[in-house]
Amino acid sequence: MSPAHPERNSVVEALDPPGPGPSPVGAPTVVAAGVAARAGGRLLFEGLDATVTAGQFVAVLGPNGAGKSTFLRMLLGLHPPAAGSLTVLGERPGRRNHDIGYLPQRRSFDSSVRIRGVDLVRLGVDGHRWGTPLPLVRRLFDRARFEQEQRHLDDVVARVGATAYGQRAIGEVSGGEQQRLLIAQALVRQPRLLLLDEPLDSLDLPNQQGVAALLQQISADGVTVVIVAHDVNPILGYLDQVIYIVGGRALAGPPETVITTENLSRLYGAPIEVIRTSSGQLVVVGQPDAASFHAH
Amino acid sequence: MLTEAWAGSVAAAARLSWDLHRDLRLVLQYPFMRNAFVAGAVAALMCGAIGWFAVLRGETYAAHTLASVAFPGASGAVYLGLAPLVGYFGFAVAGAALIAWLSPLGPGGGERHSATVGAVQAMALALGFWFVSLYQGFLSSLSGFLFGSFLGVTRDDVMVLAITALLALGLLAIVGRPLLFASVDPRVAEAAGVPVRAVSLLYLILLGCAVAEASQFTGVLLVLALLVVPAATASALTARPSVGLVLSVGLALVTVWAGLAAAYFTNRPVGFWVTSVGFAGYGLARGTASVRGRWTRRVVAA
Ligand SMILES: Nc1ncnc2c1ncn2[C@@H]1O[C@H](COP(=O)(O)OP(=O)(O)O)[C@@H](O)[C@H]1O
Ligand SMILES: [Mg+2]
């Protein structure tokens, strides 16, 4: 485990981990060997070798269109690898999806979507199951289970700090608030692997730090967290491993060995500097994506 | 139509009074009215539930298109000497399958879906007009197809409507939760193992059945009055799925029955009344929601 940020956000304090069934720390969660990705008839990247173990916090980095989202879809079995072998939670991708929480890239709900945030979170638990549950009937006939599920739901919503607005229609809350509820939806099924596609995207800086700290804590509980990020700096301090996808190549490893001035400059084909601060943190300067982020 | 003239003379004698019991007896004294009330309840049940998903999914345009598809179905069936009901169901369901088949897959599919729906709608209306022009004699029932009529509902029709509704609602009950998931959050639903495309196709077919049922009363042009307006009213009032679904069904029922009774006493088209009652409810709900929203904001701000 990498050292956590010393300062802790209020989000993290509001919680009480919902005791998932994480795998023993150190067991491989994702094993990729020579993986290549192809989409729309184009080769996105090839030669990805990576082993992600349980409880690791991993970032997938790279410029737009590199194939980061496609890689997450490959882990879910929704996109077949063009070459190589990929194992997720000990089986081929798609077989263990009930143990995976997934947050796709940039989803937002406009104000016409009239369903509460908590309803959306609940779908993360049982949305795939057939049937039409009527809460009123369940409350009458299956009270104990209903209340237990309700408590778990409330806990997870509290954990992401969304209690105040969970009861409102999802389309009425802000983009950042929607994002927190969607993270709760991915968390609520007590996953062993969490795949988050640019979860910090629609958040302001304090919220980015809050959510990053929350994710770090989740990974400390034994859940493997794989996050696609635009700007590496808010999470750099937490990372156990990074997977860089640039220019058709993919490079995986611990941040200290992968995130170096030479590596990044070579991958991006542009001068990029990696600086170590006095507190020992890495900072990436001149990263094209990071630059575009800071511009607005 | 013969029945229409006859019923008109009957209804002219019926006067609304303050005695509700007497009014109800007056309305229900004729078998055709009793049939209409039962069939209306069945259609309301179906439209309330299926329409709620249409509003959630933003598929009101598809609903309107399926109604347009039902129009050549009904006129074609009459032209061939079949029961209009056969044409309504056959064409609405086939139209649903056609839309699902033509709709593009993949990213951006949602936006291009509406273009497909528009193309199907235009073709359907043209085809309906073609059948009408083939058969000069039935122009008198054209307004019934377009704007609705409840006088022709027979006991057999009621049976057909009830059995279809039972099947459709049974299927909806089975797919309800995954359909909700696929409607609000298709990508996560897909990852969680929901067969999103199959569920969407099934939903369009159920929508076609609901459209066929509603067309009996409201006519193909006013289907949305029963299918979408009560559901939109319910959605404006609550964001709880289960409450919204039940409320939508209840409102559809009130709309249909009030519309039928008003049509009976005024001897004016039922489609007009169903639409007016529904629209009044929708206006009230939107007004209430906006006042409530402003009030909540003020409380929060204070
Ligand atoms: N299903 C698909 N069909 C065609 N092209 C696709 C598909 N999925 C992704 N792509 C293309 O693959 C490239 C990489 O996409 P993506 O994985 O979303 O990149 P990133 O997430 O790194 O920005 C893009 O050029 C995109 O247009
Ligand atoms: Mg992406």
Give the HSE-up count for residue A177: Cα atoms under 13 Å, Cβ half-sphere: 18
Q: Is the confidence at residue A112, as pLDDT, over 80? A: yes
User: For residues B26 and B13, what is the distance between their CA atoms, to the nearest angstrom?
Assistant: 10
Residue from A46, A70, A243, A267 whose mutation best tests the ligand 1 pocket (most atoms within 8 A of CB) = A70
Q: What is the pLDDT of residue B7?
A: 47
> A231-284 pLDDT, tens per residue?
788 888 889 999 999 888 898 999 888 888 887 777 777 788 888 777 767 777
Specify whether the CB–CB gap between A115 and A166 falls below 8 A.
Answer: no
Q: Is the CB of A82 under 6 A from ligand 1?
A: no
Q: What is the pLDDT of residue B14?
A: 66
Q: What is the pLDDT of residue A277?
A: 76
Nearest to B191 by CA among A127, A83, A227: A127
Domains of chain B: 4-301 (1.10.3470.10)
Q: In terms of C-beta density within 10 A (0-12 exposed, 13-18 middle, 19 or more buried), how is residue A84 classed?
A: middle
Count interface pairs A-B at CB distance under 8 A.
95
Task: Kindly provide the ipTM of the predicted complex, given to two decimals.
Answer: 0.85
Yes or no, beta carbons of A114 and B244 under 8 Å apart: yes
Helix spans in A112-224 (H): 117-126, 135-141, 143-159, 175-187, 205-220
Question: Which residue would you say has higher pLDDT here, B63 or A137?
Answer: B63
Q: Which of A72-86, A104-118, A203-217, B114-128 has the highest mean pLDDT?
A: A72-86
Q: What is the pLDDT of residue B4?
A: 45
Residues 6 or more apart whose CB falls under 8 angstroms from that of A67 comprise A37, A39, A44, A45, A245
Q: Which of B172, B173, B193 shows the shortest C-beta gap to A128? A: B193
**Ligand 2 is an ion; residues with CB less than 5 A from it:** A 69, 105
Q: Which residues of A touch B169 (CB under 8 A)?
A: none
Percent of chain A with pLDDT over 70: 88
Question: Which residue would you say has higher pLDDT here, B55 or A110?
Answer: B55
Specify whether the CB–CB gap between A242 and A61 falls below 8 A.
Answer: yes
Q: What is the pLDDT of residue A289?
A: 52
Tokens at A50, concatenated: 């990576």
> A6-34 pLDDT, tens per residue?
443 433 333 444 444 555 556 899 999 99
Q: What is the pLDDT of residue B196?
A: 92
Yes or no, beta carbons of B175 and A130 under 8 Å apart: yes
User: pLDDT 10s per residue in chain B (302 long)?
Assistant: 334 444 444 444 567 777 888 888 888 888 888 988 999 999 999 999 999 999 999 888 889 899 888 888 888 888 888 888 888 889 988 998 888 888 766 544 555 678 888 888 888 888 888 887 887 665 566 777 777 777 777 888 889 889 999 999 999 999 999 999 999 999 999 999 999 989 999 999 999 999 988 887 788 888 889 999 999 999 999 999 999 999 999 999 999 999 999 988 888 888 889 999 999 999 999 999 888 877 766 665 55
